[in-house]
Structure 1
Amino acid sequence: MALLKHTVGIMTHPASEWASVRDDKTSFKQVFLGHVPFLALIPSIAAFYGVTQVGWTVGDGDPVHLTVNSALTLCAISYFALIAGVFVLGEFVNWMSRTYGVRDSEEQRHHGGTALAVCITTPLFLSGIFLVVPSIWLNVIAMGIAGTYAVFLIFEGLPIVMNIEKERAFMYACSVITVGLVLMVTAMIGTVLVWGVGVGPIYVD
């Protein structure tokens, strides 16, 4: 299992990398486990450092920090939520494949859906490094740029990986983006629910 095999390529030369993803003979499990558990560490560790060591300011006040235990709990929950989110996205891509006329075998569709989910979320994971500085505007800009590139990757890669015409792939890609947005909203609701049961942030006095 090649760890992080497609990470550099999808960021530097996506057109040729998508063809490599398409021709990859590894299973969907190998693609998933070779990338996501490691990439999800980036925002989780960066956020932990940012909220415990750097902190953020509100107005002209002193920097605000979370306790180590609180930050560790929240970052651990976020880590597993990120992994689950990519898995669910990949399953939706695979589930929708027949609707949009993908004629590959079940195994190839499953690999393609998972690989697509892994690759399009890669820039979002990498942008998580900016969480070492818990600045709202810095992270909004970083995530915005990463999100824009992720959308580009969807439209660029989907017709190649799933082997369908670009016209049909356009609607397929729009559906994938919609699923991604729904997952984001679900994550926000989940955050509120988790905080509601007492697993919220605890601040350093």
Structure 2
Amino acid sequence: MILNHLWGLFAHPREEYDLIRKETLANKKLYLAHVLILAAIPSISSYYGATQTGWSIGSLEQIKLTPESALIMAALAYFAIIAGIVFMGLFIHWMAKTYGSSPSRTKCIVFSAYTATPLYIVGIVGIYPNTAVSLIGSIIAIAYTVYLLYVGIPRMMKIPEEQGFLFATSIVCVGLVLLVTMKVVTALFWGMGYGPGFEIIG
């Protein structure tokens, strides 16, 4: 089922969101399990890339993270992704009342998770760290995620397209604030000495 939905979100997102809306309540545990699996893609890929592949800047030596440091960062990133999904899902649930919709919390969290699918998939580039590839991939993934959001909100919430546009715009704004907040928290932790441990390969 999960692979069908992943393909559908890229091939025919409108019809796929209609299908997800109908199936969510009947398969709560299965959908939430899929959320946990999808969210692990960026963390696993980044762990492998940071410890096995490494990266270099210009002509400098190759840099890798120590396995212990990379594991901690991958775990923190995984839980941060889960927390972000849940937070956005709860915000969508709260905001839905403003537009006359009353979806369940589970449906909103599942919608939040599936809408972020491009962000999980692009996480695969972490296997081979490259600044240019990561930047281009991230821009494309963010753009398609926003597209899925605008397409999916009216269908999942069962509201008119005009209201869905306003609703989706509110979600984008909150998502940007959440992203900036996570970056600031990360910078603070690094500044307090909780940054990763590096290995320089000559």
Query: TM-score, normalization: structure 1?
Result: 0.90
Counterpart amino acid of residue 199 in structure 1: Y
Counterpart amino acid of residue 51 in structure 2: T
- Structure 1: where are the runs of 5+ without partners? none
Asked if 1:150 is matched to 2:145, the reply is: yes
| Number of the residue aligned with 2:94 | 95
Distance 1:132 1:40 in 2: 15
Q: Deviations over 1:96-142 (max 9, x none)?
A: 0011222x3xxx34243222201111110111000111111101111
| Number of the residue aligned with 1:123 | 118
- Structure 2: where are the runs of 5+ without partners? none
CA RMSD in angstroms comes to 1.9
CA contact (8 A) 1:31 1:115 kept: no
| Number of the residue aligned with 1:49 | 48
Distance 2:100 2:143 in 1: 26
Report percent identity of matched pairs.
38
Asked if 1:177 is matched to 2:176, the reply is: no
Distance 2:199 2:94 in 1: 45
Distance 1:32 1:181 in 2: 25
Greater shift, 140-149 or 10-19, is seen at: 10-19
Distance 1:162 1:141 in 2: 31
CA contact (8 A) 1:32 1:118 kept: no
Distance 1:165 1:31, change over 3 A: farther
| Number of the residue aligned with 2:61 | 62
Distance 1:170 1:135, change over 3 A: same
Q: Tell me the number of residue pairs that the alignment of Structure 1 and Structure 2 aligns.
A: 200
| Number of the residue aligned with 2:22 | 23
Q: Deviations over 1:4-34 (max 9, x none)?
A: 6633322322121111012125269536522
Decide which structure has greater helix share: 2
Query: TM-score, normalization: structure 2?
Result: 0.91
Distance 1:130 1:5 in 2: 22
Counterpart amino acid of residue 131 in structure 1: G
Asked if 1:71 is matched to 2:70, the reply is: yes
Distance 1:31 1:187 in 2: 28
